[in-house]
Amino acid sequence: MATVLIHVPVYLIITKSMARTIEITGVPGAGKSTVTDNLLERNPARSELIDLETGYWQILADLHYVPQSSIVRRKVSPSILKQLRSASGWRAHATLCFQGLYPEFQTTVGTYIKKYTQDRERQQWAIQSILTLQERFWTVTAEADYDNILLEQGFIDKARSIFAPPSPDHRLEMADVERYARLVPKPDLLIVIEADTETAIKRIKRRTEGPPEQYVHLQESALRSSLDRMQRTMSSLIGELEDHGVECILIDNNGSLEELYSQVATLNIGGLTT
């Protein structure tokens, strides 16, 4: 199959935002959502810190003249959501602009997704989730007027889905992880929530909504193997990112919630109140 290169004019992909990007990563059960919610609660002023999801819907609301008061952090009313999702032209524009800035990223990621899982449904899900993230990332970083943008499931975290799917069909090759680290949009700050495999499994089991859908069918031994592979993937990726100059902060979340909040309170992330 021939490769088609799409030329995007430079004036269309110049971003206006000078915001710092802060990404949170960790295996399922590590506590990413808990840390994200705590950071947002400590910094209620949206101009100082906003999560990617809320920032994205706010910008689409502006484009459609929808009151921003209808958008609460990471929650949008169904009627407003239906209206904003009709912005197909904007979505295509944002995705093309992202790919103009990172021309090799999408092709490489697509290759890795198909390499590490032969499950067609899983492949489609992974590719679509990457495309959605590309669109939202470009939209917020290009159009938003915020000091700091927080990504709970950003490009670094997506490496787990790519290289450590629930039922991998290929052994992990570190050269692939290294290439991903070179091509991926890098955050200004990466917060890594660490939890050992057994702790993560216990938390996944305790979730009121149950385990993530992609892990429901796994026996505990298979879940443990999947989490171990994720840990290896992320450890290698973080080392590569540090070599590329990304600041990484590790938070140990093998203890209590109070101990976790205490560590979050000591974070120094660009003038934010923690």
CATH of the domain at 132: 3.40.50.300
Is residue 274 situated within a structural domain? no
Confidence category of residue 6, pLDDT binned at 50, 70, 90: very low
Model pLDDT, residue 274:
54
More confident residue, 216 or 181: 181
Give the pTM: 0.82
Q: pLDDT tens digits, residue range 176-200?
A: 999 999 999 999 999 999 999 999 9
Q: Is the pLDDT of residue 92 over 70?
A: yes
What does the DSSP 8-state code read for residue 6?
Answer: P
Instruction: Write out the two tokens for 66.
Output: 């929808």
Is residue 72 situated within a structural domain? yes
Is residue 2 situated within a structural domain? no
- Please, how many CA atoms are within 13 Å of residue 56, restricted to the half-sphere of its CB? 23
How far is the C-alpha of 38 from the C-alpha of 74, rounded, in Å?
Answer: 14
How far is the C-alpha of 53 from the C-alpha of 46, rounded, in Å?
Answer: 12
Question: For residue 103, what are the contacts with CB-CB under 8 A and spacing of at least 6?
Answer: 5
Domains in the chain: how many in total? Answer: 1
Model pLDDT, residue 233:
92
Instruction: Write out the two tokens for 15.
Output: 């971003």
Is residue 247 situated within a structural domain? yes
Is residue 182 situated within a structural domain? yes
Lowest-pLDDT range of 77-81, 153-157, 228-232: 77-81
**Residue-range definition of the domain harbouring residue 65:** 10-265
Q: Is the pLDDT of residue 85 over 90?
A: no
Model pLDDT, residue 75:
55
Is residue 3 situated within a structural domain? no
Instruction: Write out the two tokens for 266.
Output: 């000591």
Is residue 178 situated within a structural domain? yes
Is residue 207 situated within a structural domain? yes
**Counting beta carbons within 10 angstroms of the beta carbon of residue 83, is it exposed (0 to 12), middle (13 to 18) or buried (19 or more)?**
middle
